[in-house]
């Protein structure tokens, strides 16, 4: 790593010399470098008065811990290896080689950085919950698993489906943009130790000379995040299976002990939720049952994403089998006070999650050190371990790979590799060995960010503040609006549409890449995109879809595309974060006040509308989704930033309407995702999130139809807030979750706006039949009025191939027409 001195040229490599006795200048910026073998080396580097570059190792093996680390690799190596394997272009052995190289690199990186407690078994080929399902042998019957060690065929069939059976349900991991595969459990499930991944990876690291902390999803969290299997009564008490599951955990623990493990980490993030006494008792029973198996091991229970409620805190800190407790002190803003007031068990370890695992801002080291010293006074000097707030898989991998971020913004940031450094810096400072150079550089960066003129725009702040004075509801009731819109749009019953994107082909990505690299002219780029839009429009007309989309060929990502055209955003080259499986996103960085300098989508939407007489949707990403799928500034409340984005999108909506676009979709795919985990905090979030959406379209005419889209979340508990959004039509994920959404309407909730629960899962390559889709539509008609029901896929089609999209949409349209015919003949 290099630290650039003000007034001197920055450097990106280091040459070792003895460190001079004193420095006349204070560093202001931190740079990082990787060694030739791609491991991680940490040095304080600076220029002497004679302009020689000097370097020295900063951090030794102190009490430091990392909850987990990104799996995809700094250049998405795992993504490409997975997709090559799925396409039949490479073997399982080749995929395993890429995975082993990534794991080795990560472990060596942390070891060389000086981390004491290095995690293993946090790597996954798809998802850590699916890994636990494999470990337990909890394979649903439909996958025809015959027993034995679970291989790639069964594993990926559960994750992605196959030609004959659908995938397991996928939903959001707490309040993150990561998706996990939901276990399906029932009274007849036979749990057997069927994946030895945890022990294999522990031994793999040990062979490299690195002793790791094996990480397992805790048994109680696993059960609490599961659902009853198909055919099992929805009221089946899943916690009744805990005893059977624990038998497998005992086998795993025994193998880890035999292999030499001295620590084991159980991730139990469900502890931050509002749990009832029965659920809390499950933790006591589970870890009491495991106590004899855990003898002679140090056991860490790790929590993250929010404060641990007082009752949950008392429950777990009273467990005699547990040696250490990990808490998120970033999002858990009250946990430090709970520790101080409720006390901490004598002789046990506190793993203090003080370095943010979910954002990319450099840690305020001085402030964090103050908090740590206060906690040290409570738990004891040798019992405090500095840690990350959660797994670093929710942040980008390494700042060294960012070649286009300007120096000022780069100095404000820390990606996963840099957060490893911050953890050790704090650990060393806590031990009385503060690295003044490193801390001074950090303080200078913190000061730079606070005073930078590019962060604040007084005009934007004034406009956003004024938005709070109204609830921004449209003047006319949604029922009246729908009647007015139908007279203009003249749509059939059960109108068909898609939710936005069409497949992004290799050729399309090449065109965008070459335009960005200035290898083709703007004229050539526009021509290529117009040709792609024309192809997508013609395909939809041939398929006989009723409301069309332009396919979004000009967009790299539904959030990044807009962020690139808004002020206050910065962008990375390799800041990828895993969303699910091989799917990665590159969140923009919101560093300052947000505004819209010019129209963003009007040209492309108008171009597409000129190619057809059918309604063409203008496609926008909503303010809450842009917020929740970005790395958001942490120097002002999130809702203030959201109002600024809403005001910018409002201007775009008005321009689309003025250009003649009659249907405008404002996606809020991530609205549910941002819901706080604790019920006491949810009303405030939903109030400003729903308000932000309404701001975007409050000024449009009754004849302009406003759509929104949400995906892969549990919508039932926020259905009244969804209604309050007051959109004319909403499309939602439904098929992969077994029509769980429909249950809320069976329970009597009345929905008067248009609604399109998804009729097939776009995250699986499987092509649904016409009969299957028709059956789903009939289930919807049992609880929804025919005049409000739309027919559409679960989500956008960007990640699919045309060989999958064409037959799937053909069957979808055929199913809609079949139902229309049946309804007409029934009159």
DSSP state of 166: P
Beta-bridge mates of residue 301: 266, 325
Which residue blocks in 467-521 are alpha helix, DSSP H?
A: 478-489, 506-516
108 Cβ contact list (under 8 Å, min separation 6): 39, 40, 208, 210
Tell me which residue of 540, 525, 672, 521 sits closest to 615, measured CA to CA: 540
- For β-strands 212-217 and 227-228, DSSP reports them as unpaired
Q: What is the SS3 assignment for 521?
A: coil
State the DSSP string of 796-811.
--TTS-HHHHHHHHHH
- Measured between alpha carbons, how far is 809 from 594 in angstroms, rounded to an integer? 38
Contacts of 821 (CB under 8 A, 6+ apart): none
7 sits in the region (left: phi over 0; alpha: psi -120 to 50; else beta) called: left
Q: How far apart (Å, rounded) are the C-alpha atoms in residues 312 and 307?
A: 10
Measured CA to CA, the distance from residue 392 to residue 67 in angstroms comes to 7
Residue by residue, what is the 3-state secondary structure of 213-234? EEEEECHHHHHHCCEECCCCCC
Considering 65, 707, 709, 763, which one is annotated as catalytic? 763
Crossing angle for the helix pair 602-609 and 522-543, nearest 10 degrees? 50
Dig out the tokens for 435 from the structure: 């690295």
| Tokens representing residue 234 in the block | 């929805």
Burial class of residue 467, CB neighbours in 10 A (0-12, 13-18, 19+)? middle
| CA atoms of 310 and 280, how far apart (whole Å) | 12
Is residue 278 among the annotated active site residues? no
Instruction: Round to the nearest angstrom and report the end-to-end CA distance of the chain.
Output: 75
DSSP state string for 319-359: -TT--EEEEESSS-TTHHHHHHHH---TT-EEEEEEE-SS-
Q: Encoding tokens for residue 327?
A: 């808490």
Q: Which two tokens stand for residue 711?
A: 């995906």
Both tokens of 615, joined, read: 């309604």
Q: Which of 540, 591, 589, 534 is nearest to 560 (CA)?
A: 589
Q: How far apart are CA 593 and CA 463, in angstroms?
A: 11
State the residue for tokens 């080396």. Answer: 41
Closest CA to 696 of 467, 389, 405: 467
The answer to whether residues 208 and 110 touch, using CB atoms and an 8 Å cutoff, is no
Residues 6+ apart with CB under 8 A from 530: 607
- CA 558 → CA 527, 552, 585, 588, distances in Å? 22, 9, 10, 11
Cβ count near 492 (within 10 Å):
10
Neighbours of 786 (CB within 10 A): 13
Rg (CA), the chain: 27
Q: Which residue has the tokens 């009832």?
A: 276
Phi first, then psi, for residue 265 (nearest 5°) are -115, 125
d(CA 685, CA 332): 16
Q: How far apart are CA 651 and CA 653, in angstroms?
A: 5
Q: Which tokens is 598 given?
A: 């010019």
Known catalytic residues are 763
């Amino acid at each position: 790593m290099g630290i650039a001195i003000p007034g001197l040229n920055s450097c990106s490599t280091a040459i070792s010399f003895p460190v001079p006795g004193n420095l006349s200048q204070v560093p202001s910026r931190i740079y990082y470098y990787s060694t030739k073998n791609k491991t991680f080396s940490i040095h304080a580097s600076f220029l002497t008065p004679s302009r020689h570059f000097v370097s020295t190792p900063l951090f030794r093996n102190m009490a430091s811990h990392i909850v987990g680390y990104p799996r995809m690799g700094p250049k998405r190596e795992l993504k490409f290896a997975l997709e090559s394997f799925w396409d039949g272009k490479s073997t399982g052995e080749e995929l395993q080689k890429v995975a082993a190289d990534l794991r080795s690199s990560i472990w060596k990186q942390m070891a060389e950085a000086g981390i004491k407690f290095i995690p293993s078994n946090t790597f996954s080929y798809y998802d850590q919950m699916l890994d636990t399902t494999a470990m337990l042998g909890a394979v649903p019957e439909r996958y025809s698993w015959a027993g034995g060690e679970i291989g790639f065929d069964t594993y990926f069939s559960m994750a992605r489906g196959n030609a004959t059976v659908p995938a397991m349900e996928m939903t959001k991991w707490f309040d993150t943009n990561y998706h996990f595969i939901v276990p399906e459990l029932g009274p007849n499930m036979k749990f057997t130790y069927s994946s030895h991944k945890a022990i294999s990876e522990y031994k793999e690291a040990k062979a490299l000379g690195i002793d790791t902390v094996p990480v397992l999803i805790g048994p109680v969290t696993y059960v609490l995040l599961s659902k009853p299997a198909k055919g099992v009564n929805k009221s089946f008490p899943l916690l009744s299976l805990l005893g059977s599951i624990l038998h497998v955990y005992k086998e795993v623990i025994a193998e880890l002990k035999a292999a030499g493990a001295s620590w084991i980490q159980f991730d139990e993030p469900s502890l931050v939720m509002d749990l009832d006494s029965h659920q809390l008792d499950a933790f006591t029973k589970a870890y009491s049952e495991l106590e004899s198996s855990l003898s002679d091991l140090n056991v860490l229970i790790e929590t993250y994403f929010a404060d641990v409620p007082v009752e949950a805190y008392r429950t777990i800190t009273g467990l005699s089998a547990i040696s250490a407790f990990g808490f998120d002190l970033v999002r858990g803003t009250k946990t430090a006070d709970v520790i101080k007031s409720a006390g901490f068990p004598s002789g046990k370890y506190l793993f203090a999650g003080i370095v943010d695992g979910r954002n990319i801002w450099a840690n305020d080291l001085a402030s964090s050190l103050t908090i740590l010293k206060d906690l040290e006074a409570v738990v004891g000097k040798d019992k405090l371990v500095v840690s990350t707030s959660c797994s670093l898989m929710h942040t980008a991998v390494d700042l060294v790979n960012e070649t286009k971020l300007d120096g000022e913004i780069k100095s404000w940031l820390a990606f996963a590799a840099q957060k490893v450094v911050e953890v050790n810096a704090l650990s060393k400072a806590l031990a009385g060995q503060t690295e003044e150079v490193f801390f001074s550089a950090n303080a200078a960066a913190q000061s730079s960010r606070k005073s930078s003129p590019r962060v604040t725009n007084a005009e934007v702040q004034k406009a956003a503040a004024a938005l709070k004075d109204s609830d921004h509801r449209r003047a006319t009731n949604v029922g009246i609006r729908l009647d007015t819109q139908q007279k203009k749009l003249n749509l059939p019953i059960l109108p068909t549409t898609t939710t936005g994107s069409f497949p992004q082909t290799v050729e399309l990505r090449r065109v965008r890449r070459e335009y960005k690299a200035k290898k083709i002219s703007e004229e050539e780029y526009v021509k290529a995109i117009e040709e792609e839009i024309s192809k997508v429009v013609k395909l939809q007309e041939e398929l006989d879809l009723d409301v069309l989309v332009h396919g979004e060929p000009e967009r790299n990502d539904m959030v990044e595309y807009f962020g690139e055209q808004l002020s206050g955003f910065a962008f990375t080259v390799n800041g990828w974060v895993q969303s699910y499986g091989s799917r990665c996103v590159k969140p923009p960085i919101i560093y300052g006040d947000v505004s819209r300098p010019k129209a963003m989508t009007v040209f492309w939407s108008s171009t597409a509308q000129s190619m057809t007489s059918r309604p063409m949707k203008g496609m926008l990403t909503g303010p809450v989704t842009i917020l929740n799928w970005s790395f958001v500034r942490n120097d002002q409340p999130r809702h203030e930033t959201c109002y600024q984005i809403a005001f910018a999108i409002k201007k775009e909506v008005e321009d689309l309407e003025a250009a003649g676009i009659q249907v405008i979709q404002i996606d809020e795919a991530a609205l549910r995702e941002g819901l706080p985990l604790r019920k006491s905090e949810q009303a405030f979030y939903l109030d400003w999130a729903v308000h932000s959406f309404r701001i975007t379209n409050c000024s449009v005419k009754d004849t302009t139809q406003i759509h929104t889209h949400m995906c892969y979340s549990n919508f039932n508990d926020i259905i009244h807030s969804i209604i309050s959004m007051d959109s004319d039509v909403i499309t939602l994920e439904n098929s992969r979750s077994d029509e769980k959404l429909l249950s809320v309407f069976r329970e009597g909730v009345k929905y008067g706006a248009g609604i399109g629960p998804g009729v097939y899962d776009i995250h699986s390559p499987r092509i649904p039949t016409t009969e299957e889709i028709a059956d789903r539509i009939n289930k919807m008609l049992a609880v929804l009025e025919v005049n409000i029901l739309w027919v559409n896929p679960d989500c956008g089609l960007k990640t699919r191939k045309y060989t999958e999209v064409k037959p799937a949409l053909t069957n979808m349209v055929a199913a809609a027409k079949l139902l229309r015919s049946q309804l007409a003949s029934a009159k």
